[in-house]
Amino acid sequence: MKEAIDDTVPVHTAAEGPAGKLPITSEVLRNAPSGEIFGMTQNAGMGWNPLQLNRPQYLILGTMGGILREDGSPLALGYHTGHWEIGVMMEEIAEELTANHGIPFAGYVSDPCDGRSQGTTGMFDSLPYRNDAAVVLRRLIRSLPTRKGVLGVATCDKGLPAMMLALAGMRHQLPGIIVPGGVTLPPVNGEDAGKVQSIGARFSNGELSLEDAADLGCRACATPGGGCQFLGTAATAQVIAEALGMSLPHSALSPSGQPVWKNIGRQSARALQHMEHSGIVMSDILTDRAIKNAMVLHAAFGGSTNLLLHLPAVAHAAGLKIPSVDDWNEVNRQVPRLVSVLPNGPVPHPTIRVFLAGGVPEVMLHLRRLGLIDESVLTVTGRTLGENLDWWETSQRRADMRRRLQEADGIDPDSVIMSPEEAKRQGMASTMTFPTGNLCPEGAVIKSAAIDPSVLDSEGVYRHTGRVKVFTAEKDAIRSIKNGKVQAGDILAIIGRGPSGTGMEETYQLTSALKHLPYGKYVTLITDARFSGVSTGACIGHMGPEALAGGPLGKLRDNDWVEVLIDTVKLEGSVNLVGESGEGGQPLSKEAGTELLNARTPHPGLAVDPGLPDDTRLWAALQAASGGTWQGCVYDTDRIIALLEAGRQALGETR
């Protein structure tokens, strides 16, 4: 081993220790747990002024990843831009807490990147990570018994939902605030981070040169921090956190690293201290009415279908009613989509423009006039939602932000966040439809707002009856797309990719390829897996029961006839097998298809992915025991224990 130059420096064996004395009393020594006293010793050892150790303590949790040098350049990369600048925000919060006579503590649970793991076995850990991280975050909160409140700084697809679950789980114990990590900016000339993920498929189909692919791929993330520029799962989760009242007004979708973003951190620190002084805890914020408000905002924004997994999980963590498919259906039928943003459009504005147009509170002003939100709910400001909106409507901040959008980009803010009347004039479809049928008797979901309007009929209905191409692995499907074996009119079925098969992988490399290939809008995709929040097109996911749990989707064969109907106006839909494979097969009826399914065995290639980690197999079993996908893929502890006990008894085992 090469000897380092400084190996000759003497090794110290003792040190003087911190100067000063702990601010303890005889009563503390007699009555306090030894851990609290030793905690003060640790705090002094880490360099905090001993005279200040009796100040109130607050915990800052973040999903920071990577190591930044002082000049902001990378010493070690993170997994994604979304957590790259989280540490900067945490510093702002810590300085503000210290200035206001608090003691900040900080802990970290980093998070993966769904974009980085698309099409890889890394996706098998994506959704399960959320539950694991929420458990660890809650353990970190409980492991600092002296904390008075918690600030959770997070940005992206799984880290932010995990943080929301962790804070929601504190219920009656603590105040908490979510500080959204913001968004990255789009390039002046180039493609957004959603479209750029299709450069491989476009190059393979002759739609893009190698030189252009390399150039576009380099510039898509134009600033180093923040979530992607589209309203995917990361951005939608920020919107939902604010809609729940867990974040400050107009904090979602702020531009990472900029002064307005840093100020949100400082304001959140002051708000947490106000909550603590006022005795406001998470159960005061998170109520069934707040959950309903979040569902309404999801519909008005046109948010990611992944929030069908995350918002129910937040409700479960908070001990609230879990919204059902019927609840989601009702909301989507009542609430107009008002936001023109990537990827749904009609104009593909990046999320920074939504922020400048007024973000969540601006959308809420429109919804308030329609009577669609509950203004009486309490928020982390210590005021009701109605009081927050009264402030926003006449605030200088609102005027400044909207003016800046006009000055910087020449964009009318009312063309980004539209009035209900203008949205209707623009023909903006409602966000989600929940089809059923003999291939998904438990239901499925499609972001109907993201179907290309040109493939809808005059009544706003998407109709596709065609031969199906069945794949039991996503990699085989993307290979077929790149090799030109998928054509207009095809229906692709990706089966066995739900929780039991892959951890319910995300299949964005397929949907992004189809969106940006000229024939893609004429192809339908059906699966028991899920989609990225930036997915568009006739893509139907979450089909239940999943194929590996005996779902009829797993009985499909190549060249079967499948009929897909999605009514984007009435928000009704169906996915049915209507005829069997073979040259002589013709479309028949739903009833005939049901008979075929009842007589069939599962597809011969249907199997758990051989690369599925044991950790994910365990997650799949636990969430299935807890109600599965439509319950948010949660861990219902009482239910799991009851099933384990029943299993022991059935096997004749004793404790």
Judgement on whether residues 215 and 229 belong to the same structural domain of the protein:
no
Catalytic: which of 268, 512, 532, 626? 532
Judgement on whether residues 289 and 173 belong to the same structural domain of the protein:
yes
Judgement on whether residues 213 and 227 belong to the same structural domain of the protein:
no
pLDDT tens, position by position, 450-472: 899 999 999 999 999 999 999 99
Judgement on whether residues 260 and 367 belong to the same structural domain of the protein:
yes
Spell out where 99-212 has E strands: 103-108, 147-154, 176-180
The pLDDT of residue 3: 60
Answer yes or no: 532 catalytic: yes
Task: Please list, in sequence order, all residues whose beta carbon lies within 8 angstroms of the beta carbon of residue 485, skipping any fewer than 6 positions away.
Answer: none
Task: Judge whether 287 lies within some domain.
Answer: yes
Q: CA-CA distances (angstroms) from residue 188 to 72, 115, 409, 421? A: 22, 22, 11, 32
Say if CB 302 and CB 231 are below 8 A apart.
Answer: yes
Task: Please list, in sequence order, all residues whose beta carbon lies within 8 angstroms of the beta carbon of residue 396, skipping any fewer than 6 positions away.
Answer: none
Judgement on whether residues 373 and 491 belong to the same structural domain of the protein:
no
Find the angle CA(445)-CA(449)-CA(453) to the nearest 5 degrees: 125
The pLDDT of residue 532: 75
Judgement on whether residues 324 and 468 belong to the same structural domain of the protein:
no
- pTM beyond cutoff 0.85: yes
Q: What is the CA radius of gyration of the chain?
A: 26
Q: Which two tokens stand for residue 201?
A: 């498929």
Alpha carbons 166 and 131: distance in angstroms, whole number: 9
The pLDDT of residue 344: 86
Alpha carbons 337 and 348: distance in angstroms, whole number: 14
Judgement on whether residues 115 and 199 belong to the same structural domain of the protein:
no
Judgement on whether residues 562 and 529 belong to the same structural domain of the protein:
yes
Judgement on whether residues 145 and 264 belong to the same structural domain of the protein:
yes
Task: Judge whether 29 lies within some domain.
Answer: no
Identify the CA nearest to 533 among candidates 92, 103, 112, 229: 229
The pLDDT of residue 67: 96
Q: Strand, helix or coil at 204?
A: helix
Q: H helices of 335-465, where?
A: 351-356, 359-369, 385-393, 396-409, 420-425
Q: Which two tokens stand for residue 194?
A: 């959603």
DSSP 250-264: T-TT-BTTSHHHHHH
Say if CB 65 and CB 80 are below 8 A apart.
Answer: yes
Note down the domain range covering 454. 443-599
Judgement on whether residues 455 and 585 belong to the same structural domain of the protein:
yes
Judgement on whether residues 519 and 450 belong to the same structural domain of the protein:
yes
* Residue 539, Cβ density class (10 Å: 0-12 exposed, 13-18 middle, ≥19 buried): buried
Measured between its terminal Cα atoms, the distance across the chain in Å is: 53
Task: Please list, in sequence order, all residues whose beta carbon lies within 8 angstroms of the beta carbon of residue 104, skipping any fewer than 6 positions away.
Answer: 57, 58, 59, 60, 93, 94, 97, 98
339 φ, ψ to 5°? Answer: -105, 125
Say if CB 201 and CB 482 are below 8 A apart.
Answer: yes
Q: Which stretches of the chain score pLDDT less than 70?
A: 1-7, 533-534, 582-584, 655
Alpha carbons 629 and 546: distance in angstroms, whole number: 9
* Secondary structure letter of residue 295 according to DSSP: H
Task: Judge whether 162 lies within some domain.
Answer: yes
Bridge partners, 274 (sequence order): none
